[in-house]
Amino acid sequence: MNDPTSTVTPPANTVLEALPWPLAVVGPDGIVAYVNPAWPGGAAIVGQAYERVLAHWRSVPPSAAAIIRDAVAAAMSGDDDGAALEFAEVGEPPARWLRVRCVAVAGGCALMLLEDVSEQRRRELDLALRADHDPLTGLANRRRFLSEGTRMLALADRHQWGMALLFIDLDAFKSINDSAGHTFGDAVLQQVAKRLERGTRSGDLLARFGGDEFVVLLNDIDPAASVALAQRYRAALQDPPIVPGAALPVQASIGIASFPGAATSLTALLRLADAAMYRAKSAADGVVIVDESPTPD
């Protein structure tokens, strides 16, 4: 009977043991024939069935273990496609992201190669976060709002529930910026974002739309409830004062457009709520809702 380890010659062993990436060779009988020093658990798994090794690899999600098991079997039969699987380890954060590749080697054996791609995934996630979120406040940005808001409206239309868009603008914010400087103004915007976020319901979408403008898409709500929620947003910005003792308190004017009563597209809702917000600046309570007479989109 051929020894599966004979497929790895001494010179190859020397090279494999020097590699920083964990790798293992599974023989044609499904027994782990070789691991290099970088493999988790080291040589203790040599001589064990690879299925048993996967079953006891606690940090591998069961779904990933099943895919790896099938990939090893395919490699041993010479039917592998060289595809790689990426998965996040189970356990306390920060979890590692691992890439596993199983390829066929001589003698009906399979080689499993592990690669830690955590840093690459973190960079990708950071880029995705920057693309969809405002760097100053951490809220969704205009791009994310337009994309996610369109999806939310389509879902609301399908299920026939009401929604409302709130357009929030800080009153006299330019005066705060001019008198105290942009660094102070940025700090005020961050505090405003935190207060708005605390008052936002699960399932609603809050975003910084630009400058001192914020928008909220309220899910499954009627016009009267949207007005009440807008008033709570205004109250949250005033008490306690964001800038204690400031001559110009931080206040907001809010325009509201309802779906489907006022409009049925996100673009039209934004246009109507923006116009209502400007009217709200001269309203006694700082909130104006658009009349429910659907506007052509």
Give the long-range contacts of residues 38-41, CB within 8 A, separation 24 or more.
39/114, 40/114
**Closest to 275 in 3D by CA, of 260, 293, 261, 257:** 257
Question: Of these residues, 80, 171, 204, 212, which one is catalytic?
Answer: 212
Q: Distances in Å between the alpha carbon of 44 and those of 13, 34, 80, 126?
A: 17, 10, 27, 37
Q: How far apart are CA 31 and CA 72, in angstroms?
A: 11
**Sequence-distant contacts of 176-180: CB under 8 A, at least 24 apart:** 176/243, 176/246, 176/248, 176/250, 179/248
Residue 212 appears among annotated catalytic residues? yes
**Residues annotated catalytic, as ranges:** 212
